[in-house]
Amino acid sequence: MVKGVVIVGLGNIGLKYDLHLDQGKHVYSHARAFSQHKDFNLLAAVDDNLSRRDIFTHVYKSPAYSDLSEALKRHKPDVVVIATTTQTHAEILFNILEEVNPMVILCEKPLSYDLSEAQEMVEMCERKKVSLYVNFMRRSDTGVVKIKNLIDSKTFEVGIKGVTWYSKGFIHNGSHFFNLLEYWLGPMKGFNLLSIDRILDDDCELDVEVEFENGKIIFLAAWEESFSHYSIELLLPSGRIRYDDRGATIQVQNVISDPIFKGYRILNPGSKNIETDMRHSQLNVVKQLALFVNGKPSHLCSGKAALTTLASMLLIIDEIKNG
């Protein structure tokens, strides 16, 4: 059965990221993703900006409202997407649950900058029997899932070491990669704060070594004002995994005998490319959501898993505040 969708928030991820791009080649927004999937019907959107509402109505031929309550009462959606600023997530989620009981709420990351507020969001959805997912979209990418399967199958050993570059805030953007590494390597077991670059209003930029269940990763902050940079390099006794170009490229190198220096071993220059599909990042999320609503397993990040990510990252930030 087709599920009705209402999107709350028509900013970049809600609407604008892919407006100027070929719809057959790029799907980066919630609006385009849900409009392209046969299992969902894009019913309406909500935003306080008239210009964005007009663009949505013109492009997607569906109504857009300034009032959340009106949109929910008129359309009674099965799925509600929260794509507003982080500071508004909790209030909007609570307002949604006062009006309707959707099957699913898909919320942008992070749930909140406040752990107790995020906990309340998760608990409220549990009480209402509403499935809460958080849009860590990289977990839905085919290449990421393949690496996950390789690690889980013990094709790669535990004891992984690596480096992650992020920019634009440890929680705001670094959480994408922290959550991804939890997905690959298991929960955080400990950390060692290395340095603090900048303290932001609700976030910070820092360098930190994090010990996950199956590996140690150093997070390094780059300079968003100069350029965006997001990558992960994992080293294992059997080779190297490179997650680069924001996830558009994943390469795996095995170990071979050095053809020049006898007795030495090197990384194979002929790396193997793992197929990815980040050009359809939001459509990949919607495909995973379709699996869930049809009673099948998915790779979506649950509210509880996102809460674990937030708790671990705030524990690191708390060391700065308490230090």
pLDDT in tens, the chain (323 residues): 899 999 999 999 999 999 999 999 999 999 999 999 999 999 999 999 999 999 999 999 999 999 999 999 999 999 999 999 999 999 999 999 999 999 999 999 999 999 999 999 999 999 999 999 999 999 999 999 999 998 888 766 667 999 999 999 999 999 999 999 999 999 999 999 999 988 887 789 999 999 999 999 999 999 989 999 999 999 988 899 999 999 999 999 999 999 999 999 999 999 999 999 999 999 999 999 999 999 999 999 999 999 999 999 999 998 887 76
Instruction: State residue 230's pLDDT score.
Output: 95
Q: Which helix (H) or strand (E) holds 284?
A: helix 281-293
Distance, in Å, from the CA atom of 152 to the CA atom of 156, rounded to the nearest integer, reads 8
Contact criterion met (CB below 8 Å) for 287 and 106: no
In eight-state DSSP terms, residue 320 is H
Complete domains list, the chain, with CATH: 3-137+283-302 (3.40.50.720), 142-276 (3.30.360.10)
Residue found by looking up tokens 């028509």 in the block: 10
Q: How high is the pLDDT of residue 155?
A: 66
Instruction: Report the half-sphere exposure of 50 (CA within 13 A, side-chain side).
Output: 0
pLDDT value for 317: 92
Residue 1 confidence (pLDDT): 86
pLDDT of 157 reads 64
Question: Is the C-alpha dihedral spanning 180, 186, 188, 194 positive or negative?
Answer: negative
Q: What pLDDT is attached to residue 201? A: 78
Specify the pLDDT at position 90: 98
Report how far apart, in Å, the C-alpha atoms of 232 and of each of 166, 180, 216, 245, 246 are. 9, 10, 12, 10, 9
Q: What is the DSSP string of 64-130?
A: EES-HHHHHHHH--SEEEE-S-GGGHHHHHHHHHHH---SEEEEPSPS-SSHHHHHHHHHHHHHHT-
Strands of the chain, DSSP E: 3-8, 40-46, 64-65, 79-82, 104-107, 131-134, 160-166, 188-199, 204-212, 215-221, 231-236, 239-244, 249-257, 265-267, 272-274, 301-302
- Tell me the β-bridge partners of 292: none
Query: Which stretches within 134-280 are classed as H helix?
Result: 142-152, 174-185
Q: Which of 214, 165, 212, 199 is nearest to 308 (CA)?
A: 212
Give the pTM.
0.95
What is the number of alpha carbons within 13 Å of residue 59 lying toward its C-beta?
Answer: 21
